[in-house]
Amino acid sequence: QVQLVQSGAEVKKPGASVKVSCKASGYTFTSYGISWVRQAPGQGLEWMGWISAYNGNTNYAQKLQGRVTMTTDTSTSTAYMELRSLRSDDTAVYYCARALMDCSGGSCSWYFDYWGQGTLVTVSS
Amino acid sequence: SSELTQDPAVSVALGQTVRITCQGDSLRSYYASWYQQKPGQAPVLVIYGKNNRPSGIPDRFSGSSSGNTASLTITGAQAEDEADYYCNSRDSSGNHRGVFGGGTKLTVL
């Protein structure tokens, strides 16, 4: 069965960096993309970016450009999300999700069918 | 445009039908996908594409789209459907970035 297992909770000081991992199993890792989504306490979902596990192409949310880097290690079927220059408003639960596109209905739909369990990142001095 | 707009809260009587809507320019080019999130849990995909349900999602959940509006309909809402619901699409401006709606809190009365 498809599983995405994320690394554990982190506490960081403002200005530091965090790197969250997402280990995939149960499917061919390089056949899908991985998106990262975060959720601040009591807030909605925020799309952070996407990486192709096939060729490493990335697409980041404009507001995070320059602070975020997404990578994959195909030898271990693991995706990583690194966020730098952390601020207090980066405190959130960070999710990875398998990303794919369906174009069978006339138009296309981009969707996330399996999600990791989430990783709480707390930024506090 | 990269925004998707949802009503913040909707309520429905047990067993009745409720529609949750999502508006945005990108929905003229892409179908929305819909996610259910219960407190303390990761989101769960409930609808994608024209009207596709992943395995395990009850058939009381359905999706539709018209113009710049996507809708998630729950026919015969159950107590366990009380949750936050989010729509998602891809920005149609050419940068292919993703975007989520602000979410709708569904209360089943």
Structure confidence by residue, pLDDT tens digits, B30-53: 999 999 999 999 999 999 999 999
Question: For the residues B62-81, what does the mean pLDDT come to?
Answer: 97
Q: For residues A69 and A18, what is the distance between their CA atoms, to the nearest angstrom?
A: 11
- The nearest alpha carbon in chain A to B8 belongs to A44
Q: Does A105 touch chain B (CB under 8 A)?
A: yes
Confidence of residue B2 (pLDDT cuts 50, 70, 90): low
**Amino acid letter, B51:** N
Burial status of residue A13 (CB atoms within 10 A of its CB: 0-12, 13-18, 19 or more): exposed
What percent of chain B clears pLDDT 90, i.e. is strictly above it? 91
Output the average pLDDT for chain B. Answer: 95
Instruction: Look at B49 and A110 and tell me if their CB atoms are within 8 Å.
Output: no
Task: Spell out, as residue ranges, where chain A has pLDDT lower than 70.
Answer: none
Average pLDDT, integer, range B49-63: 96
B88 has a chain A CB within 8 A of its CB: yes
pLDDT tens track for A12-39: 999 999 999 999 999 999 999 999 999 9
What mean pLDDT is predicted for residues B55-66? Answer: 97
Determine the Cα–Cα distance for residues B105 and B107; give it in Å rounded to an integer.
6
Residues 55-94 of A with CB under 8 A from B: 59-62
